[in-house]
Amino acid sequence: MQKGYFPADSYQTPPKTKLSLWDRMISNNLLYFTLKYAYIVLQTRKQAIKKIYDTPAWHKSSYYIFRFIEKTGGRFSITGMENISKSEKPVLFISNHMSTLETMIFPCIIAPHREVTFVVKESLVKHPLFKDVMLSRNPVVVGRSDPRKDLEAVMNGGAELLAKGVSIVIFPQSTRNLVFKPEEFNSIGVKLAKKTGVPVVPVAIKTDFWGNGKYIKELGPLDNTKTIHFKFGEPFMVTGNGKEENNRIISFIQECLEEWNK
């Protein structure tokens, strides 16, 4: 892949051999990080209200966040990006969910290569700061209180988007968690893939550089001793009842996390 923000199929944040005074001041600095984050949230909200927050604007703002995470001391390791556009069909990206970081960074990795949106919680499309941006991305919305209704929303809304050529990122866990719990990783993603006949791209992430806040989840502590990992697996089709494929995704995530935690 030669388009987008990353010229190769993998990316590693270059090491800084010499830190300037400014670098030392902003490294792991939550205040600097929060101000930069607040700026981009307000800018994108303004664009969304004006109906000009399109896909290029989305992945551009995502890359802005990517760059200031690096400036704050975050180190990225992204692999398997060739798998993002390997399929000619739209795909389902099925990932574990650890922090706010992955929802902010996925667009600059994926969206330059294919149209994509998310399955999101209803609270996000009602949030006074995020609702306009989220609605501009035409997501699949779930309530997280009624599993039957959520399944219906994903099966119907997801199928409509995939039929239009829009890929979807889905987090089968009910909430963000710094510890991966396989028993909380439901099969809603593989069910949608089986129904629509589109490939699954398993994604493993480790984003505990950006912790969950005690009072505001989006504003947690930073820890630049922890590398930020994204790994995209090979696309595959779902056959049978999907149980084997869901276990395959879980194993992929577990193996990656075990490797990264060494």
- pTM score over 0.85: yes
Domain regions of the chain by residue span? 11-260
Give burial (CB, 10 Å; 0-12/13-18/19+) of 91.
buried
Do the beta carbons of residue 65 and residue 40 sit within 8 Å? yes
- Please state, in angstroms and rounded to a whole number, the distance separating the CA atoms of residues 254 and 205: 10
Query: CATH number of the domain at 11-260, out of 3.40.1130, 3.30.310, 3.30.420, 3.30.160?
Result: 3.40.1130
Residue by residue, pLDDT tens for the chain (262 residues) are 447 899 899 999 998 767 777 777 788 788 888 889 999 999 999 999 999 999 999 999 999 999 999 988 899 999 999 999 999 999 999 999 998 899 999 999 999 999 999 999 998 888 888 899 999 999 999 987 788 888 899 999 999 999 999 999 999 987 888 889 999 999 999 999 999 999 999 999 999 998 776 656 666 788 889 999 999 999 999 998 889 999 999 999 999 999 999 8
